[in-house]
Structure 1
Amino acid sequence: METVRDVRVLPKAHLHLHFTGSMRPTTLLELADKYGVRLPEALSEALVSGEPPKLRATDERGWFRFQRLYDAARSCLREPEDIQRLVREAAQEDLRDGSGWLEIQVDPTSYAPRLGGLIPALEIILDAVESAMRETGLGIRVLVAANRMRHPLDARTLARLAVRYQDRGVVGFGLSNDERRGMARDFDRAFAIARDGGLLSAPHGGELTGPSSVHDCLDDLVADRVGHGVRAAEDPRLLGRLAERGVTCEVCPASNVALGVYEKPEDVPLRTLFEAGVPLALGADDPLLFGSRLTAQYEIARRHHDFTDAELAELARQSLRASAAPKDVKEKLLAGVDDWLDGPTA
């Protein structure tokens, strides 16, 4: 039997983690009790049992159900100290999984009503990030994400705000929610504002819809990274385009299965993407709802796709190269990957 190294201590970057979705289940239960929030039964039962709720978002009704659970969880974040706790605990969880760099994605619009407005909400989030970095030592940055379900003018407002707060740790601009709603080209001006201001372009695409949505991210939003992007595997020419341009796909295997994009972990086209030369960054997406964090995504690559330790190390390198980490941080973590590969097996 082949011996393997402990993937939990493999240095890596976490580039696809949503804000509310990063919360610990125990934290959500405590906050719901604190504020008297009655969580949907499917969510509360899942949190208590430790089993993720049964979701299938491949139709709009299923996506609505997923969003309902997510919105219920977000409604329990009401005070700055709740935000501080969430970010601190997300950092702690990432450190346990060997992450040396975290880029967490958030739409501050969703938190603004309870935190005093859009600008105060973002400042509270960035304060929490700075505090968590001091407490844990983990490098953390923020991607501000627009919502496809909102008007493109709202996205432009967010893009300007994101650029304004670069010096406080905002490094990228994203676009999330149901890909079947809101064409990428409707948000091209917002992404132009973000790119012109020096931010990474990291929209979601190629999850709930096919390769065409990835093409749209490249053509209309000039993506540096694509959130998910797995459906690109259905188009060999697109795979070549992603590989040639070095556009990283932030692949979240457990999420893909939980939402019904693929039936089983082995169906996620990790090997197809990897062997086509597409850079990959494995991510946990929403651990609160999908039940697994960063290390588990590497374990899926190992157990269900036969990735060797050398290939897992390359996945970690690709995540680090695609990050917005400073050069010295990248070099240190990349050296750590080499040390991991040269080190003892378990």
Structure 2
Amino acid sequence: MRYRGGGGLRQHLGMERVRDLSQLPKAHLHLHFTGSMRPATLLELADKYGVRLPDALTDALVSGEPPRLRATDERGWFRFQRLYDAARSCLQRPEDIRRLVREAAEEDLRDGSGWLEIQVDPTSYAPRLGGLIPALEIILDAVETTMRETGLGMRVLVAANRMKHPLDARTLARLAVRYRDRGVVGFGLSNDERRGLARDFDRAFAIARDGGLLSAPHGGELTGPASVRDCLDDLGAHRIGHGVRAAEDPRLLKRLADRQVACEVCPASNVALGVYDKPEDVPLRTLFEAGVPVALGADDPLLFGSRLAAQYEIARRHHGFTDAELAELARQSIRASAAPQDVKKRLLEGVDDWLAQEAR
């Protein structure tokens, strides 16, 4: 039995039978590198290297409650970025990188992920790891080792920073293409989308696309539908990081659906950063019912307090998604990934098997 309240809220009653979402095979396409860290690992590394973390971050990590953030104005975004930069400063040696990658994979496996594309700007780690190329090679080596040891399919999406000069993005795009055979599958653009026009980075994305990489810039999170259109028109996006503000423009929704451009929707992140006030306000069902492919992602679980399976639970609890619809969300994440066809086939079969199981 199911009841819907305001905004499509699904009320769970004691007699309702549902399947375990951590057992649902899925792909994870929106996870940032530092933001994937376990809170306990960050506290341990901060102590090891004598890094004084901001009180707001330490209090949140100790309490288990995510820090209070609201990034819809520039001051709020600066505060969020400050916390993120503080966490990143604790990754100082190759063994820290290897530990982060291994633990991120373990968390994803626990949540039912069979494929992970982790996003990283290697320039952020280069000063402590011997330069840009050594930093990327350390990350890719860690990914390769983790894949071998855990069995999780895992690749890297190199992301440029909107706050930096477009020439830096071109350098990163060339580097990403150079390491395509070592595990780089895509090129992104992150940070405050209110800074740096998408068209300023068009040449970098052309380099990446010509080199066979997926185009997956952030858009439609802190600004409206125009940001998503710019990602499509100027950057040739195959996927959109977030993209939720596209729900405000029916014609844009149709365009995304017609082209089957997936939106990497991160519900917990959207609420934590103040894009929407409540989980039920995230326009997840609007996108889904418009035919826009959706790949749920955790974004930065270190700061937002929930990982991949929890995003599916938000869809179930706050948007009334049935198990059949949740299975379709998982399929959409798999189809939108850069996984090889045999991996996609295996994961899709796993989704069918999950749905065929009797609910408990």
TM-score tier after normalising by the smaller chain length: over 0.9
Q: Distance in 1 between matches of 2:315 and 2:358?
A: 20
Is the counterpart of residue 173 in structure 1 residue 187 in structure 2?
yes
What pairs with 1:154-233 in structure 2 (closer than 5 Å)? Answer: 154-233=168-247
Corresponding position of 1:317? 331
TM-score (norm 1): 1.00
Mapping of 1:249-260 within 5 angstroms?
249-260=263-274
Alignment counterpart, residue 296 of structure 1, candidates 303, 310, 318: 310
What's 2:8 paired with?
Answer: none
Q: Which among 287, 312, 321 is matched to residue 273 of structure 1?
A: 287
For 1:46-61, list aligned pairs within 5 A: 46-61=60-75
Cα shift at 1:135: 1.4
1:148 corresponds in structure 2 to 162
Q: Distance in 1 between matches of 2:312 and 2:51?
A: 35
Q: Does 1:345 align with 2:345?
A: no
Aligned residue pairs total 346
Equivalence for 1:305? 319
SS, match of residue 280 in structure 1: coil
The answer on 1:261 being equivalent to 2:262 is: no
| Structure 2 length-normalised TM | 0.96
Cα deviation for residue 344 of structure 1 reads 1.8
Residue in 1 that maps onto 2:119: 105
- Within the alignment, does 1:124 sit opposite 2:138 as a pair? yes
Equivalents in 1 of 2:19, 2:125: separation in Å? 41
Residue 131 (structure 1) shift: 1.1
> Who is 1:285 aligned against?
299
Letter of the 2:91 partner, please give it. L
Partner of 2:93: 79
RMSD over aligned CA atoms reads 0.4
Q: Which residue matches 1:241?
A: 255
Task: Identify which of 344, 349, 354 aligns with 1:330.
Answer: 344
Offset of residue 2 of structure 1: 2.9
| Structure 2 residue matching 1:73: 3-state secondary structure | helix
Letter in 1 for 2:331: R
The Cα of 1:108 is off from its aligned counterpart by 0.1
> Gaps (5+ residues) in structure 1?
none
Letter in 2 for 1:82: D
Helix, strand or coil: the match of 1:44? helix
Distance 2:223 2:333 in 1: 24
SS state of the match for residue 227, structure 1? strand
Q: Secondary structure at the match of 2:222?
A: coil
Q: Distance in 2 between matches of 1:124 and 1:332?
A: 29
Letter in 2 for 1:342: A
Distance of 1:4 and 1:143 partners within structure 2: 34
Matched with 2:9 is none
